Structure 1
Amino acid sequence: MTSLMLIAVDLAAVVVLAYALYFRRHRRRDLVTAFVVVNIGVLAVTKVLASAEIGMGVGLGLFGVLSIIRLRSSEISQHEVAYYFASLAIGLIAGFDTLQPLLSVSLIALILAMIAIVDSPLLLSRSRQQSLRLDRAFTDESAMRAHVEQLLGGTVKVMEVTELDMVNDTTTVDVRWHRPDHSTRVYAPQAEDQGNYAQFQTAIRNQERQEARSSR
């Protein structure tokens, strides 16, 4: 009876994890299927190992192997890795009958509660991360920061150049930035903004030319 109860708890938990939490927030359907299937697969294998009276070490070894699997069909982000890990953990906890039922249910509830909190859109909602390819080869960090902030319409916190191509006159930069409280959209120059944006670019170029001349 305890085993059937834990299976029912596992099914309910993975539905909450995959559909109520992940899909409603991130809308990636293929990973919903992956989370559910991985969870059920781990639960089934764990039940088989437990019924065969194989040691706990084998089960934990299986969990370790599954947790480092990297599916190369498509790239997944770090928060999606966290959902994978949660799906694996829930299946493993529900699969072992050696734990007290109350403890198993409490651990599963804790996993769901924590992922609901840390992946909430209300938590760190202003923080953004973006990779940009700029149409200039920036060598001045201050000018590049001003240019990126103008493009994004927010405040750059951390900026790291990943590629500087002097031949093709481009810069690839990884940016961590905060959007303003009053706006949720990423800045993109519209037709009415093109004039101001062009003036900004011209001002930056003129400033760099003047600095280059004064340094000679």
Structure 2
Amino acid sequence: METINWSDPIWELTARFAINTVANVLLMFGMFYRRYRDKELATTASMFNIFAFAVLTILSSVEFSIAAGFGLFAILALFSLRSEQISKTEISYFFGAIALAVICSVQGTGLLFVLVIVVFVLIGAWLLDHPRMLHSVSSAKLTLDNIETHVLSDTEKMRADLSERLGVEVMTFQVIELNYVNDLARINVFFRA
């Protein structure tokens, strides 16, 4: 019986891809999707993970300059040009999917080292975003059918109005969009039930 030679480039690439894929599935579908039920972002980040893994694997096997590396991360900035804003948690998970691809694809690191780092990343993400960690405050995205005159000028009054409307203690809120044409306000509300 022949043993697998993990230093063979094909086996090493297969092992790195397997570690990356399992870690990404755990992060995006085992943690993010189960907690937030956002299929679109989970799928998008997972696909981006696979694409980034492929590109970074090629780039790490050839000589390329630091400028090329900065160019690659500049491409990530295009993600922020979307018309819809995404939350900080969504950005964190999306970056996590990218980080896993980077960790797993860069040549020159041992497979055991890669596996240990990936496990650390997954444990950290699981702990830091665990529902019991910060369970006392929840959030909701609201669309109001009229723009209150004090939405920006008197935040305490607006917070009190939102608390009364929602029947919860609004801790803070964030105005996402004011549309004076349609008289709509989009607001993120952070509240304690």
Q: Mark the CA change 1:35 to 1:175 in structure 2 (over 3 Å): closer, same or farther.
A: closer
The aligned residue for residue 148 of structure 1 is: 162
Q: Matches of 2:85 and 2:51 in 1, distance apart?
A: 22
Partner residue in 1 for 2:192:
179
2:70 paired residue number: 61
**Gaps in structure 2 of 5+ consecutive residues:** 1-5, 7-11
Q: Match of 1:69, SS? A: helix
Q: Equivalents in 2 of 1:67, 1:105: separation in Å?
A: 25
Structure 2 Cα separation of the partners of residues 69 and 123 of structure 1: 32
2:110 maps to: 100
Cα distance in 1 for partners of 2:102, 2:170 equals 41
Which residues of 2 match residues 4-83 of structure 1 at below 5 A?
A: 4-54=14-64, 57=66, 60-70=69-79, 72=82, 74-83=84-93
Residue 138 of structure 2 aligns to a residue whose secondary structure is: strand
Alpha-carbon distance in 2 for matches of 1:156, 1:43: 42
Amino acid at match of 2:133: L
How many aligned residue pairs are there? 176
User: Are the counterparts in 1 of residues 172 and 191 from structure 2 also a CA contact under 8 Å?
Assistant: no
Q: Percent identity?
A: 23
Shift of 1:73: 5.6
| RMSD (Å) for aligned C-alpha atoms | 3.4
Whether the 8 Å contact between 1:63 and 1:92 is mirrored in structure 2 is no
Q: TM-score, normalised by structure 2?
A: 0.71
Counterpart of 1:110, as a letter, is: F
Give the conservation status (yes or no) of the 8 Å contact 1:50–1:96: yes
Gaps of 5+ in 1: 181-216
TM-score by length of 1: 0.64
Separation of aligned partners in 1, 2:25 and 2:166? 37
